[in-house]
Amino acid sequence: MQKQKLRFKTPDEVEAVFYEAFVHCDSDVMAGLWADQDVTCVHPGAAVIIKYDAIISSWMIIFDDAQGTNMQYTVINRVTTDDIAVHTTAEEMLYAGKVEALVLATNVYRKFDDGWLMIGHHGSVVGDWSVKGETLQ
């Protein structure tokens, strides 16, 4: 299942393509943006997955059940160092034009010789829409 990796110059580029792949149910693109090792993925309510092949398989199963996902995301916080970036995002799942569910995600990116790749995704459904502490920027 090893795919040719995509090349990204910034964590934001990986994130944009990650959500594009999510929306369009594109498992080939998803497979190209995850690193091979030291990866973890937690889908909402589900067990943690810690190997590349198992993570890509999990996305393929999610994508098999859907033609596409209507969602939009907002980056709430970014912490970036030379070789690791940790983003907190709010994912709004839309149905018939209305927000049906809110998922908070912690996305982790790492810089490799050929660019940035995803190494972590932790999504969880939350019931409260607001950002506590200050107004969402």
CB 89, CB 76: distance < 8 Å: yes
Min separation Cβ 90 and its own copies, Å: 7
Single out the residue of 25, 55, 117, 118 in contact with its own copies (rule: CB under 8 A): 55
77 in contact with its own copies (CB under 8 A)? yes
Of 7-15, 19-27, 48-56, 60-68, which part binds its own copies (CB under 8 A)?
48-56
Min separation Cβ 75 and its own copies, Å: 11
59 in contact with its own copies (CB under 8 A)? no
Single out the residue of 4, 81, 97, 98 in contact with its own copies (rule: CB under 8 A): 81
As a whole number of angstroms, the distance between CA 85 and CA 36 comes to: 17
86 in contact with its own copies (CB under 8 A)? yes
The number of CA neighbours under 13 Å toward the Cβ of 32 is: 13
1 in contact with its own copies (CB under 8 A)? no
CA 44, chain centre distance (Å)? 12
